[in-house]
Structure 1
Amino acid sequence: MLTFKNFNVADWFSFYRILAAPFLLALIWLDLRLIFSWLLLISYSTDAIDGYLARKLKITSPRGSQLDSFGDQITLIVGLIGLYYFETVFITSNLILILVAFAPYIIQMIIAFAKYGKATAFHTYLAKLSAVIQSVFILWSLFFSPEYSLFYIMIVIGLLETFEEIVLIFLYDNWASDVKGIYWAYRDKRRLKKRT
C-alpha cells in the first residue's frame, strides 16, 4: 500500500491525509482550534479530490482504494480526537449514544480483519454519504458548535452504513473494492464468479 514509486496523483491525495494526521494531532496538543479546523477541512477535501481524480483519469486500483480507506479512517479518528478535546462537554454528555453507535463499527472491523486480513474498501454509496455527514458534523462543531439534528442524522446513517458493510463482508468470500451497495453486490461478477 505504501510503495511510493507506484503512486499516482490520486494516491498522493490519499496519502496526504495520512501524512497530515500527526500535524493535526500536534495542533490539538497546542490547543490551536481554528488552525486545526481549517487543516482538517483541507484533509476532508482531499477525500473528494482523490476519488474524483481516480474516476476521471481511470486510475482506480485495489491499492488506491485501500489507501483511500486508510486515509479516511485516520482522518475520522483525528477529527473525533479533536472534537473530544475541543467539545468535551458535548462528547461526555452523549458518550453512551456514541459508544452504542460505534460498537457495530468495531465489530465490522474485527469481522473484516478475521476474514480478509485487512479493512474493507467497499466504498458504497451509503459509506460516501456517511463520510460526508460525519465530516460536516465534525467541522460544523469545530467552527461553530455541535448541532444535535446533524448529530442524530450522522448516527443513523453511520449505523445503516456499518450494517451494510457487515452484510457485504458475508457476501464476498474474497476482499473486493468499490462495491456500490448490497443491490449492486448481487449483480457483481466478482462475487458471482467466486460462488460458482
Structure 2
Amino acid sequence: MKKYYIHIPISLIYSRLLFSIVILLLSFTQPEYFRSMINILLITGLVTDVFDGIIARKLNVSTVKFRRLDSFIDQIFWLSALVGAYVICSEFFKENTLLLAVLLGAEALTYIVSYLKFKKEVATHAILSKVWTLTILATLVQIISTCDSSWLFITCFYMGMITRMEIIAILFIIKKWENDVPSLYHAVLIRKGKPIKRNKLFNG
C-alpha cells in the first residue's frame, strides 16, 4: 500500500505547476471573481508546499532529487503569481519598480552564486526563507485584492533581502552543495563537520 502513498508528495509538487498555469490564465482573461480564485490558488499552493515535504519525510522519500524538484517548481509557482499580479495591477509594480528590481536581483544572485560554486541550483530551504514565503503570500493576496500594499510590501521587501543575504552567506560557507540547511548557524556547523539537527516537519 505504501508504494501508492509515495506518489502523494510528487502530486502535491506538480499541483503547483498546474496552479501556475491557471493563475496566469485567470490573470489574462479576468473572468468574474478572478481575484478571489487566484488568491485561493495561492493559499492552496502554499499549503501543498508545506505538506509535500512533511509527507515525503514521513514516507522516507525526501531525496535530493525530490528537494531540487520542489525548489524548481516553487520558483515557477511564485514567478507565475508575480506575473499574474503584474498583469492585474501593473500600476503598483511601476510605482515600486526599484525595490522589486533590487529584490529580484538579490534572488537571481543566490542562483548565480550557487551555479558558479556548485553547478547546482539553490535548495537550502532555510527556515527564515519559509517565513518570508508567508509574507510573499500575504503581500500578493493584498495586491491582487486591492492593487495596493504599504507596510506589508515593505516588510516583504526587507525580509526578502535578509533571507537572500543569509542564503548567499550559507553558500559561501558550506564546502559542498547541500540541500535543507536550516540557517547560517547550521551552515557553520556543517563546514566544521559537525552533525546538525533538522526539524522533521519543516526541514529535512
For Structure 1 versus Structure 2, the TM-score category normalised by the shorter chain is 0.7 to 0.9
Q: CA deviation at 1:58?
A: 3.9
| Per-residue Cα deviation, 1:134-173 (whole angstroms, up to 9, x for no partner) | 0111122223443211101100110011011111111223
Q: In structure 1, how many angstroms separate the alpha carbons of the residues matched to 2:109 and 2:134?
A: 22
* 1:147 aligns to 2:149 (yes or no): yes
Q: Give the equivalent residue in structure 2 for 1:169.
A: 171
Q: Give the equivalent residue in structure 2 for 1:70.
A: 72
- 91-100 or 10-19, which moves further after superposition? 10-19
Q: With structure 1 as the length reference, what TM-score do the two structures score?
A: 0.86
Structure 2 unaligned spans of 5+: 194-204
Q: Quick check: 2:92–2:147 contact (8 Å CA) kept in 1? A: no
* 1:113 aligns to 2:115 (yes or no): yes
Q: Give the equivalent residue in structure 2 for 1:133.
A: 135
Q: Quick check: 1:179–1:185 contact (8 Å CA) kept in 2? A: yes
Query: 1:71 aligns to what SS in structure 2?
Result: helix
Q: Give the equivalent residue in structure 1 for 2:98.
A: 96
**Aligned CA distance change for structure 1 residues 118 and 31 (closer, same or farther; 3 Å):** farther
Cα-Cα RMSD: 2.3
Query: 2:182 aligns to what SS in structure 1?
Result: coil
Q: In structure 2, how many angstroms separate the alpha carbons of the residues matched to 1:143 and 1:90?
A: 12
Q: CA deviation at 1:111?
A: 1.4
Structure 1 unaligned spans of 5+: none
Q: What one-letter code is carried by the residue in structure 2 that aligns with 1:122?
A: T
Query: 1:173 aligns to what SS in structure 2?
Result: coil
Q: In structure 2, how many angstroms separate the alpha carbons of the residues matched to 1:8 and 1:186?
A: 35
Give 4+ residue runs of structure 1 displaced > 6 Å after superposition: none
Q: CA deviation at 1:19?
A: 3.2
Q: In structure 2, how many angstroms separate the alpha carbons of the residues matched to 1:55 and 1:154?
A: 29
Q: Give the equivalent residue in structure 1 for 2:161.
A: 159
Q: In structure 2, how many angstroms separate the alpha carbons of the residues matched to 1:41 and 1:82?
A: 15
Q: CA deviation at 1:102?
A: 2.0
Q: Give the equivalent residue in structure 2 for 1:16.
A: 15
Q: How many residues align?
A: 188
Q: Give the equivalent residue in structure 2 for 1:80.
A: 82
Q: What one-letter code is carried by the residue in structure 2 that aligns with 1:81?
A: V
Percent identity among equivalent residues? 25
Q: With structure 2 as the length reference, what TM-score do the two structures score?
A: 0.83
Q: In structure 1, how many angstroms separate the alpha carbons of the residues matched to 2:61 and 2:106?
A: 32
Q: What one-letter code is carried by the residue in structure 1 that aligns with 2:126?
A: T
Query: 1:48 aligns to what SS in structure 2?
Result: helix
